[in-house]
């Protein structure tokens, strides 16, 4: 039977010191990586701020939310009908564009198309 080897106290000290140094090196490497990413992010934010300053974008006037419980029922119904009508109009416009594109794609006159000369051999 093989007898276990007993490690001296200074051997344990070397092992744990090496493990602690490896841990510190790994943490330092990860912190350096995160620091570089943060610096790149700050550079990008600075460029974006400069671009936004050039564009001089003003904040739009946002409508204030209306509490439906306190609003008049006719106003709520009118707003809902307007929303439905707008969606229906957008849907019909999208359908019209799709149908026009489908007609344009499928209505090719083969007699008027200039076919490549290599196809006639």
Identify the residue with better confidence: 87 or 63: 87
The pLDDT of residue 89 is: 97
Does residue 112 sit within a domain? no
The pLDDT of residue 63 is: 75
Does residue 95 sit within a domain? yes
Q: How confident is the model at residue 121 (pLDDT cuts 50, 70, 90)?
A: low
The Cα 100–Cα 105 span in angstroms is 9
DSSP of 15-80: HHHHHHHHHHHHHHHHHHHHHHHHHHHHHHHHHHHHHHHHHTPPPP-PPPP--TTTS-HHHHHHHH
Does residue 118 sit within a domain? no
> Do 70 and 101 have their domain in common?
yes
> Do 51 and 72 have their domain in common?
no
Does residue 98 sit within a domain? yes
- 73 in helix, strand or coil? helix
Q: Does position 47 have pLDDT exceeding 70, yes or no? A: yes
The pLDDT of residue 49 is: 86
Q: Does position 44 have pLDDT exceeding 90, yes or no? A: yes
Q: Give Cα separations from 20 to 8, 23, 74, 75, 86 (angstroms).
A: 19, 5, 73, 70, 66
Contact assessment for residue 92 and residue 85, using Cβ atoms and an 8 Å cutoff: no
The Cα 15–Cα 23 span in angstroms is 12
What is the overall mean pLDDT for the chain? 88
> Do 52 and 70 have their domain in common?
no
Does residue 28 sit within a domain? yes
- The domain in which residue 69 lies consists of 65-106
Give the CB-side neighbour count of residue 95, counting CA atoms within 13 A: 6
Q: Does position 2 have pLDDT exceeding 90, yes or no? A: no
Q: In this predicted model, what pLDDT tens digit does every residue of 84-120 receive, in sequence order?
A: 999 999 999 999 999 999 988 887 777 777 777 777 7
The pLDDT of residue 100 is: 92
> Do 54 and 72 have their domain in common?
no
Q: How confident is the model at residue 65 (pLDDT cuts 50, 70, 90)?
A: confident
């Amino acid at each position: 039977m093989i007898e276990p080897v007993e490690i001296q106290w200074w051997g344990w000290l070397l092992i744990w010191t090496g493990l602690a140094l490896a841990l510190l090196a790994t943490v330092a490497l990860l912190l350096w990586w995160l620091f570089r990413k943060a610096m790149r992010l700050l550079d990008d934010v600075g460029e974006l701020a400069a671009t936004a300053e050039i564009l001089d974008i003003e904040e739009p006037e946002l409508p204030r939310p209306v509490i439906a419980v306190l609003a008049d029922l006719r106003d709520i119904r009118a707003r809902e009908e307007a929303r439905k009508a707008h969606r229906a109009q957008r849907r019909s416009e999208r359908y019209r564009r799709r149908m026009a594109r489908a007609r344009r794609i499928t209505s090719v006159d083969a007699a008027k198309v200039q076919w490549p000369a290599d196809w006639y051999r």
